[in-house]
Amino acid sequence: MRTIAVINQKGGCGKTTVSINLASALADKGHRTLLVDMDPQAHCAVGLAVPEEQIEQSIYDILISKGRGEDLRLSEVLWQIADKFELAPASIDLAAFEQQMSGVIERENCLRMVLDIVKNDYEYVVIDCPPSVGLLTFNAIRAATDVIVPVEMGYFSLHGLSRQLDTLNVLSKQCPQEINVMVLPSMYDIRTKMGREILAELRKHFSEKMFKTVVNFNTKLKEAASLGQPICEYDPGSKGHNDFKALADELASTDTQMHRTELVRTLQAKLDAISSSADELISAVEPETETPTVAAEAVEIKDIDTKIADFYGARQVQETVVFSSLYPRA
Question: Taking 80 as the threshold, does the pLDDT of residue 198 lie above it?
Answer: yes
CB atoms within 10 A of CB 89: 23
pLDDT for 121-166, tens place per residue?
999 999 999 998 899 999 999 999 999 999 988 877 777 788 889 8
pLDDT for 236-283, tens place per residue?
999 999 999 999 999 999 864 444 444 455 556 666 667 666 666 676
| Banded pLDDT at 318 (limits 50, 70, 90) | very low
CB 111 within 8 A of CB 139: yes
Rounded CA-CA distance 286/23 in Å is 59
The pLDDT score that the predictor gives to residue 221 is: 96
The pLDDT score that the predictor gives to residue 59 is: 98
| Cα angle, residue 172 at apex, residues 168 and 173 outer, rounded to 5° | 120
Nearest to 252 by CA among 44, 33, 85, 81: 33
The answer to which of 192-206, 228-242, 296-310 has the lowest mean pLDDT is: 296-310
The answer to which of 65-79, 267-281, 304-318 has the lowest mean pLDDT is: 304-318
The pLDDT score that the predictor gives to residue 97 is: 95
* Prediction pTM value: 0.77
Question: Taking 80 as the threshold, does the pLDDT of residue 107 lie above it?
Answer: yes
| Banded pLDDT at 285 (limits 50, 70, 90) | low
Question: Taking 70 as the threshold, does the pLDDT of residue 119 lie above it?
Answer: yes
The pLDDT score that the predictor gives to residue 62 is: 97
CB 126 within 8 A of CB 247: no
End-to-end CA separation in angstroms for the chain = 81
**Average model confidence (pLDDT) for the chain?**
85
